[in-house]
Every structure is written in structure tokens, then in C-alpha cells.
Structure 1
Amino acid sequence: MEKLDTSLAINASMEAGKKIMDAVQAEMDAVACFQIDDGLYEQLTVNTYLKMFAKLSATSTKNLGEIEKKYSVSAIRKKKIKQLNNIQKRLVSLADKVHIIV
């Protein structure tokens, strides 16, 4: 199977999603799968959430502004995660993973 330089999003139930992923994995070397709700702390603000992950990963919080800009969460930094839409939650989730590799 030829590799594509694109991404695909599928909105499905957990059961259907697992079947789809099993079928795709049978055809591909590596597949990344993200769930929309992957355990974000809904009661925290975006900024507090990112600071918490920075501390957990022993990463400096001085680059937090850059990370917020890079993942387009600067404008929502004071909002609670439970108030965000699915796309914004995904951006926050991606931004928190940056702390581990920064």
C-alpha cells in the first residue's frame, strides 16, 4: 500500500472504531489513533492544564506561550476544557504532548 501525505478522521462508536482500526492496521505498518475525549481534565482551564503537564514532565513552563501559539490555543487559554469544542480539545491534547519532547 502506498503512503499518503494526508490524514483521515472518522467519527464512529468505540466498537465500530475498533473494527475500523483493526482493518486498517492489517493493511498498514503504523496507524495513529486519537480519541476526542482522551482523558482531558474538563474542570481545568487550558493554561492550567498545560502548566500541569509541563510540571509532570519536568519541562519548563517558560515556553508555554510559544506552545499555545503553535497549537492555536492562545485565544482559549482561560476557558475551561469542558467549554471547548472537539477541535479545540484535540489541539489542547496535542499541545500537552509537546511538553514531553520539548
Structure 2
Amino acid sequence: MYEGLMQKVMSDSKSKAGQYFTPRALIDSIIRLIQPQPGEIVQDPAAGTAGFLIAADRYIKDATDDLFTLSEDQGNFQRRQAFRGTNGCPTPTAFA
């Protein structure tokens, strides 16, 4: 919903800034192909709305019963260190 709203609000300015939103279906397909695993760092240098980070988190949580099958240390890593995203665009997005 947030991504759809951002697309509408920024429809004029996003092309001028070189900013494009990846469709959710494509994000989900890429995540299924990459198959992120617990203990791995997931980094998105152009996070924007954080779609890839959110999808990777959901994929890992689905595979680990919402992190309950992980040790305490592994669960803490997943919650606090596994996901890193930046956004270099000054326009209003999730990480700006």
C-alpha cells in the first residue's frame, strides 16, 4: 500500500530523479531465487521503500517459524544486524 501511494505521489518527480519502484511480484520472485538464509547479511544499497529487505525478512521468518527455531544468538542477529539498507535519494522514501 505504501509503495502504491509513493508511486502516485512521486509519479512526476521520480523519473526526473532516476527513481523507480520494483513491483512487489518481482521482489518476491527474486527473493525466492536468492533464498536468503538465517545468519546472512541482506544489504540493499538502494532500499527506497525497503521492499527487498521486508521480503527477505518475511522469507527467513517463514523458514524459521518466525525465528523460533533459531538459537537466541541467531535470533538476535536476525532482529538487529541482518538487514542493512541505504538510500542516496533525498526525496521522501522509507529511508530518506
Fold conserved (TM > 0.5)? Answer: no
- In the superposition, the TM-score normalised over structure 1's length comes to 0.28
Compute the TM-score of the two structures, normalised by the length of structure 2.
0.29
Structure 1 or 2, whichever has the larger Rg, is 1
Q: Which has the higher helix share?
A: 1
